[in-house]
Structure 1
């Protein structure tokens, strides 16, 4: 199937970048407040996908995002919901804890979404392109080639390089793996701003986003922590329908398991993220 790519043109000032809202309404509202405080308009706020996910308010979250009028690409979850599939398409190993948990949260999310929300998912592109300063930027979910590909900081540069070659980009903004990181090589820059719906396995309940700032040259990237009402998110998830382990992660900041992580990232569990 041909990719749907939206070019949003040349952006100036600040651009807010984030991923994985994961049905976490409290985190989304906190991020919207940040955007307003920073004077960043909704059209300069870009999500790397997976607006829907593990938490308790999928419909409310998606409608809030839609009404905010920020930009997003599709994550694997949006594609699966849009196409009326029976699983999340996360590329979890069959029979793994993540796979088993997805058999709880994905049907829950699917059951809660309105026709209006499903119609909105149809409007989301596979990728977003824009320029900032003199740099070309492409937004992907996993990778340009595979929406469900897990790419981490430790992932070999040769794999990332293929994405830059295919997109002719200077900067790639990516999501899916759940961990914020930056990886520079020569004049290319891979940025994962992190996700706002779940902690980053660092032992801290705060979550992550980034601001690309072109108010001065050269353009800078600031990766930041987001504080929000995680206690309420945790309480709402303890509804008997969602994995209690994910509700625990919301407050502990520690992932239930590290099945998707390379060894390098496994060694970082519980350690502060310095960006």
Structure 2
């Protein structure tokens, strides 16, 4: 299991299970339990996914010690603001059945509402109080990150954004690397899976006897990104994790980098204002 060291010294697994659109209860619990059985030690959920209870049940059923797991959740847009963020974490912890989370993220910057700085300051307090081991953001562009760096005290550990070979996020990756912020990829194999049909990806997969999805996940790992593929299918949960027995060459990495066409499946962060 590959881990990376965040800018505050906390160790985070480089690959985790994402549970967006996973139904609460048995489906979420079973997926989490299966992932932990396979070897995953990082689980990524969010208040808005409405499956924190199921995730917590899966964690409990796994029998793995809490300190050996890395759990991420996120504050939703409607809860942005200082006091509401503090309250939102308490609610998430209660649903998860945990005393702390390892990483707490702002889900979207919502620049039109202009609450993300206050939200982040509340997260700094939660970090100081030990209720979260690290704090960060999702879907932040360079200007949003720069504002946090200018106005807040604790540097974000992670920026979780849509990223896949058709949306390489190269400029954002560069900014994050320069400022010791890890980029974490959501939708890493691209919603709809069009990237998995790409000839470049398929040819590389054939060479290594791997699935196209495994090649894409490997590309993320070698790009020094954190990656959280989502699945509820046991065989897919297994294969998404089976990416540590081969390595892409420098030329293969470049050829995948060159697939970038700035193609988003999710909303642009500046356009996302849904509460």
Would you call these one fold, judging by a TM-score over 0.5?
Answer: no
TM-score range for the pair, normalised by the shorter chain length: 0.3 to 0.5
| Larger relative strand fraction | 1
TM-score scaled by length of structure 1: 0.38
TM-score scaled by length of structure 2: 0.38
| Larger relative helix fraction | 2
